Structure 1
């Protein structure tokens, strides 16, 4: 049974807590309401899709065409077009995360997987914490597209902390732009906290 609602009633932080505590598996979609689309940092993307497995965030995208991670790898030019096309379209098994498959083939390095996960999952979701006007829908047991998976995951509850830290960093950065002569100790402290949380990334089993 799907769970639906509005971010004005249930914040993203509460939704992730629900996912974490219930060890939920499925897909969370967040759609911006018209009044939020002009001011949101994600205004170009009306809907965001987040896949979770047993309480862990495993992938995120703005479309359901299963081309998000593929496009990201191509944009970052981590793999030659010829090799990438052959591996993805002819060799990659449908039941294995794309990123993990490319790593096992020696095409991607573990550090590159982390970079992809950061851009594909952590950055977009942290921006969603700033969205106040939107509606959400959680569909349990929804198919998780392996083509959108790096093979890394992070507990949903950790993203609550990550989103808060990311927001603080932005505030501190803006503050430092106006007060460049003052030591920015808070900025260093918050970034230290973010670094300490980096160990929570889990490889898909």
Structure 2
């Protein structure tokens, strides 16, 4: 399945709800244009979904894996991260692997997931000028995934609320109401 369009005609929160209802697995690519400066280069985002749940997001073309994020948070050394990245199974979310090795705990995975994924998607729900393309696929970016997921419609509902959906308080409220569930292994 492929869907293309513009958020001016089909707002991102509505698109996320549709993808959630259809329980699709794939990548939603966004090309965002500046409302103020036409000479600025567009920003690119990719949002990955697994059976309608958001599992990961990427800004630009730079892959930010879970190992690097854990090093940035000083939860592990760069050396340990490199060794564990080499040993991580290809079919397992990196975050779940780190939890299974007792390197990260569920609270740390949850912190990464809400800061790096949920909050960013909520912010994107407010964009007014962007093109999108959704493509189904079977391979997810396992190295970039915490192993947690959240229904796309839950994040979209926060997006419908406008500016209130992206505040730190709203993210904290969402964390408390919606338990992030571990990604089921297929």
The interval holding the TM-score normalised by the smaller chain is: 0.7 to 0.9
Match of 1:177 in 2: none
Q: How many residues align?
A: 183
Tell which deviates more after alignment, 137-146 or 127-136: 137-146
Q: Aligned Cα RMSD in Å?
A: 2.7
The answer on 1:7 being equivalent to 2:7 is yes
Q: Residues 24, 133 of structure 1: CA spacing in aligned structure 2 closer, same or farther, 3 A cutoff?
A: same
Whether the 8 Å CA contact 1:69–1:120 is kept in 2: the answer is: no
Match of 2:116 in 1: 120
Structure 1: unaligned runs, 5 residues or longer: 174-186
Tell which deviates more after alignment, 120-129 or 3-12: 120-129
Q: Residues 169, 61 of structure 1: CA spacing in aligned structure 2 closer, same or farther, 3 A cutoff?
A: closer
Q: Residues 165, 80 of structure 1: CA spacing in aligned structure 2 closer, same or farther, 3 A cutoff?
A: farther
Whether the 8 Å CA contact 1:126–1:163 is kept in 2: the answer is: yes
Q: TM-score, normalised by structure 1?
A: 0.79
Q: Residues 47, 66 of structure 1: CA spacing in aligned structure 2 closer, same or farther, 3 A cutoff?
A: same
Q: 2:46 aligns with which of 28, 32, 49?
A: 49
The answer on 1:60 being equivalent to 2:40 is no
Distance 1:166 1:80 in 2: 39
Q: Residues 95, 169 of structure 1: CA spacing in aligned structure 2 closer, same or farther, 3 A cutoff?
A: closer
User: Deviation string for 1:98-124 (max 9, x for gaps)?
Assistant: 000000000001100001101210111
Deviation at 1:204?
1.1
The answer on 1:36 being equivalent to 2:35 is yes
User: Deviation string for 1:67-93 (max 9, x for gaps)?
Assistant: 3433322211111222111111x2111
The answer on 1:133 being equivalent to 2:132 is no
Whether the 8 Å CA contact 1:69–1:148 is kept in 2: the answer is: yes
Whether the 8 Å CA contact 1:68–1:148 is kept in 2: the answer is: yes
Whether the 8 Å CA contact 2:65–2:145 is kept in 1: the answer is: no
Bigger share in helix: 1
Structure 2: unaligned runs, 5 residues or longer: none
Whether the 8 Å CA contact 2:44–2:61 is kept in 1: the answer is: no
The answer on 1:101 being equivalent to 2:80 is no
Match of 2:183 in 1: 204
Match of 1:179 in 2: none
Distance 1:131 1:112 in 2: 29
Pairs within 5 Å for 1:109-188: 109-164=105-160, 167-168=163-164
Once superposed, which parts of structure 1, at least 4 consecutive aligned residues long, lie more than 4 Å away?
Answer: 190-193
